[in-house]
Amino acid sequence: MKALVKVAMVVGGTVPVALFGLILAGASAVDASGRSSGGLVGGLNLAVMPAAGRQYAPWYGKSAAQCPGKLTPAILAAQGWTESHFNPNAEGPPTQYGTAKGIAQFIDTTWPSYAEDADGDGTARGAYDPEDAIMAQGKYMCKMVKDAEASGYSGDPVSLALAGYNAGWGWVQYYKGVPPERFAEGQTYNYVREITANAKKWATALGGPGVAGLGTGSGPDAIRHAYSQLGIPYAWGGGTPGGPGLGFCDGRNGYLDGRCSASVTKGFDCSSLAQFAWWPSVKLPRTAADQYAATASRPVARGELKPGDLVFWSKSGPAGIYHVGLYFGDGQVLHAPRTGKTVTIQPMDEAMPKGDYVGATRPGA
């Protein structure tokens, strides 16, 4: 890595946005909203990509849509995995150019040129804001793809852009292509190979192992119904069995940064999403507490959960249910988390406080 930093000073050109992505420890068409008309979420098959990145799938779709016909969501998502393992708090070692930060590992000197408040929650977190960083990543990659197309260098433009993102465009210019394996101990060469290989796997159509692979029956059907809404905003009190709807504020819930966000947001809250998912085969009541009460006669042990089961959280037992989600499989829950977030898929123990999990039920059993 030190060699890569040293030669970057000599060659000049664009400073690499990220120098450390490979060594961080642990760390169908898409519309303008990032959702896909073909079943892929943001152009990605969640079932074949790492769980840590599934919640960001709609954002990779939106980011790729900034560069139509040139970038795919799978390329940007695979790049995010290689850079940080989808860790929004990742950091590389300090360098003379600054520290590589966040899910997309932006260098301090590069970030201001591509930064934007993409998710509308302010810019205080900078490159550590994953949604903002993913959108900036797409903008920067798009610029380099266009530079690559104009360059006449050997290799496909996306591979050239990936090499520029990792090593700096100056080294792509120097080699008139992707730097060879001997450059920087193979870091850039392998960076491009790893991302392109993962992108091919993660763009797999859902006719394979995606939600279609969940099986048949009312539970998997409920998951497929809810899955179509990934990326839709959370709106307290919003949503109906027919789809997203405007919410409201009640003096305590629905506020973001001191303003009533729910009343101007068309989306779902946790229980309306569950209701939407199961309708009309099971007509669940509207609130999480009522949904638990209506299905409590069909409890499911955690070790026996199946796709579509309702999972509940409470701070005071069944009488205090405050959140519901849909079990997705593989220890994941599909849910609408809270104001300021979107419908997403997360590990169950990260979706809500682990100690608040109160149990699960199976509608229609």
The predicted pLDDT at position 213 comes to 59
| Three-point CA angle 331, 333, 334, nearest 5° | 145
Q: Is residue 35 pLDDT above 70, yes or no?
A: no
The DSSP symbol for 15 reads P
Q: Using an 8 Å Cβ cutoff, are 111 and 18 in contact?
A: no
E-strand ranges in the chain read 245-246, 255-256, 259-260, 266-267, 299-300, 310-314, 321-329, 332-335, 344-347, 357-361
Alpha carbon distance 106, 139 (integer Å): 12
Q: What is the pLDDT of residues 260-270, one digit of tens each?
A: 999 999 999 99
Q: What is the mean pLDDT of residues 13-17?
A: 50
The predicted pLDDT at position 91 comes to 95
Alpha carbon distance 67, 211 (integer Å): 27
Q: What is the mean pLDDT of residues 163-187?
A: 95
The predicted pLDDT at position 80 comes to 97
Report which secondary-structure segment, H or E, holds 112. helix 111-114
DSSP string computed for 278-323 = HTTTS---SSHHHHHHHHTTSEE-GGG--TT-EEEEESBTBTTEEE
Alpha carbon distance 311, 327 (integer Å): 7
Tell me the three state secondary structure of residue 354: helix
DSSP string computed for 186-220 = GHHHHHHHHHHHHHHHHT--TTSSSGGGG-SSHHH
Q: Is residue 24 pLDDT above 60, yes or no?
A: no
The predicted pLDDT at position 206 comes to 40
Q: Using an 8 Å Cβ cutoff, are 191 and 5 in contact?
A: no
Would you mind telling me the total number of residues written for the chain in this entry?
A: 365
Could you give the angle at which helices 187-202 and 157-167 cross, rounded to 10 degrees?
Answer: 130
Alpha carbon distance 191, 86 (integer Å): 16
pLDDT level of residue 42 (50, 70, 90 thresholds)? low
Q: Over the chain, what is the mean pLDDT?
A: 85
Percent of the chain with pLDDT over 90: 59
Percent of the chain with pLDDT over 70: 85
Non-local (6+) Cβ contacts of 131 within 8 A are 56, 59, 118, 119
Structure-model confidence comparison of residues 17 and 273, the more confident one:
273
Q: Is residue 259 pLDDT above 90, yes or no?
A: yes
The predicted pLDDT at position 32 comes to 36
The predicted pLDDT at position 158 comes to 94
Q: What is the pLDDT of residues 84-122, one digit of tens each?
A: 999 999 999 887 778 899 999 999 899 999 998 998 888
The DSSP symbol for 312 reads E
- Using CB atoms within 10 Å of the CB of residue 306, give its burial: 0 to 12 exposed, 13 to 18 middle, 19+ buried: middle
The DSSP symbol for 127 reads G
Q: What is the pLDDT of residues 47-63, one digit of tens each?
A: 778 888 988 988 998 89
Show the domains of the chain with their CATH numbers.
2-202 (1.10.530), 215-361 (3.90.1720.10)
Q: What is the mean pLDDT of residues 218-231?
A: 85
Q: Is residue 209 pLDDT above 60, yes or no?
A: no
Q: What is the mean pLDDT of residues 320-348?
A: 91
Q: What is the pLDDT of residues 143-157, one digit of tens each?
A: 999 999 999 998 889
Q: Is residue 81 pLDDT above 60, yes or no?
A: yes
pLDDT level of residue 16 (50, 70, 90 thresholds)? low
**Cis bond upstream, residue 337 (ω within 30):** no
Q: Count of CB atoms within 10 A of residue 190's CB?
A: 15
Q: What is the mean pLDDT of residues 320-339?
A: 93
Task: Tell me phi and psi for residue 4, to 5 degrees.
Answer: -65, -40
pLDDT level of residue 40 (50, 70, 90 thresholds)? low
The predicted pLDDT at position 154 comes to 86
Pairing relationship of beta strands 245-246 and 266-267 according to DSSP bridges? antiparallel
Q: Is residue 38 pLDDT above 50, yes or no?
A: no
Q: Using an 8 Å Cβ cutoff, are 83 and 106 in contact?
A: no
Tell me the three state secondary structure of residue 236: coil
Which of 64-78, 119-133, 191-205, 290-304 is predicted with the least confidence, judged by mean pLDDT?
191-205
